[in-house]
Amino acid sequence: MTDEELQELIESVSKETFGKPFLHIARFNKRLRTTGGRYLLSNHSIEINPLVLDMHGTEELVGVIKHELCHYHLHIEGRGYRHRDADFRILLKHTSSPRFCRPLTEEKQRVQPKHVYECTSCKLLYKRKRRMDVRKYRCGKCAGQIEEIQAVK
């Protein structure tokens, strides 16, 4: 999808959902990392993350567009356009717009601990990625001695 097609899509969603025209610029912005889109207060333009379309499809893209149009129309009308404002939340519900975008980054897998230590007194386990000097540290719960019980190579 090109910026021109995005512009047309946003204009049609604005007319259909809000009954009001979108009169400013819409474009894709590859530099957006974690957010699906943003509304710029300074020039009233809307920027959309192209990953929304690539990862989640057109339906999610339309949801992000509706969300940004809620900001846009409320700001133009001089009403509460911020996420915390009642006007914004009411308009989100009225237009069936999503409050948040689905995640655009893949979740990182947790690294398994390579070293497991145990307190000799209270048996509390300490799981660590890096090796620790058991002569230097004591148990945080009972101040007992710590010993290594498992080292995965």
The residues annotated with a catalytic role in the active site are 68
Q: Determine whether 79 is exposed, middle or buried from the number of CB atoms within 10 Å of its CB (0-12, 13-18, 19+).
A: middle
User: For tokens 């846009």, what's the residue?
Assistant: 72
> Which of 127-144 are b and which e, b meaning 16 or more Cβ less than 10 Å from the residue's Cβ?
eeeeeeeeeeeebeeeeb
Name which of 49, 88, 42 is nearest 69 in CA terms: 88
Joined together, the tokens standing for residue 144 give: 């007992």
Cα 144 from Cα 78, distance rounded (Å): 63
